[in-house]
Amino acid sequence: MSLVTLIPFNKPSLVGNEIEYLRDAIRRGQLSGDGYYTGKCNARIAAETNGLRALITHSCTAALEMAAMLCDLGPGDEVILPSFTFVSTANAIVLRGAVPVFVDVLANTLNIDPVRVEAAVTARTKAIFAVHYAGFPADMDALAAIAERHGLWLVEDAAQAFGSTYKGRRAGGLADIGAISFHETKNVISGEGGAIIVNRPELVQRAEIIREKGTNRSQFFRGEVDKYTWVDVGSSYLPGELIASYLFAQLEMADEVTARRKALFARYHAAFAPLEAAGRLRRPRWVAGSETNGHMYYLLLRDQSDRDRFIDHMRAQEIGTPFHYVPLHSSPAGKRFGRTSGSVEVTERTWSTLVRLPMFYELGAQIDQVIERALEYFSRVEANRP
> Using one digit for the tens of pLDDT, what is the confidence trace for 145-199?
999 999 999 999 999 999 999 999 999 999 999 999 999 999 999 999 999 999 9
Section 299-318 average pLDDT: 97
| Alpha helices by DSSP H, 82-129 | 87-94, 114-120
Judge whether 271 lies within some domain: yes
Span 13-38, average pLDDT: 97
Helix (H) / strand (E) containing 131: strand 125-131
Q: In this model, does residue 385 exceed pLDDT 70?
A: no
Question: Domain containing 217 — which CATH number?
Answer: 3.40.640.10
Going by the DSSP 8-state scheme, the letter that residue 180 receives in this structure is E
**Model pLDDT for residues 66-114, shown as the tens digit of each residue:** 999 999 999 999 999 999 999 999 999 999 999 999 999 999 999 999 9
> pLDDT digits over 281-294, tens only?
999 999 888 999 99
Do 58 and 151 share a domain, yes or no? yes
Q: Are residues 279 and 201 in the same domain?
A: no
Residue 222, classed as helix, strand or coil, is coil
71 assigned to some structural domain: yes
Please classify residue 384 by burial: count the beta carbons closer than 10 Å to its beta carbon, then call 0-12 exposed, 13-18 middle and 19+ buried.
Answer: exposed
Cα separation, 167 vs 187, whole angstroms = 21
303 and 227 in one domain?
no
Predicted TM-score of the model (pTM): 0.96
User: What's 244's DSSP letter?
Assistant: H
C-alpha–C-alpha distance, residues 253 and 362, integer Å: 14
pLDDT, tens digit, 9 for 90 and up, residues 221-274: 888 999 999 999 999 999 999 999 999 999 999 999 999 999 999 999 999 999
User: 273 and 184, same structural domain?
Assistant: no
Same domain, yes or no, for 246 and 312?
no
| Alpha carbon of residue 117 to chain centroid | 20
- Give CA–CA dist 270/365, Å, rounded: 15
User: Both 208 and 114 in a single domain?
Assistant: yes
Together in a domain, 184 and 283: no
Question: Do 265 and 209 share a structural domain?
Answer: no
Q: Residue 225: what are its φ and ψ, rounded to 5°? A: -135, 160
Residue 232's domain comprises 18-252
End residue of a domain, out of 207, 229, 252 = 252
Q: Which region holds residue 210: left if phi is over 0, alpha if psi is between -120 and 50, else beta?
A: alpha
Residue 343 lies in a domain: yes
Whether residue 6 lies inside any domain: the answer is no
111 lies in the same domain as 148? yes
Tell whether 118 and 235 lie within a shared domain: yes
pLDDT classification of 381: cutoffs 50, 70, 90: confident
Q: Let me know whether 64 and 205 are in one domain.
A: yes
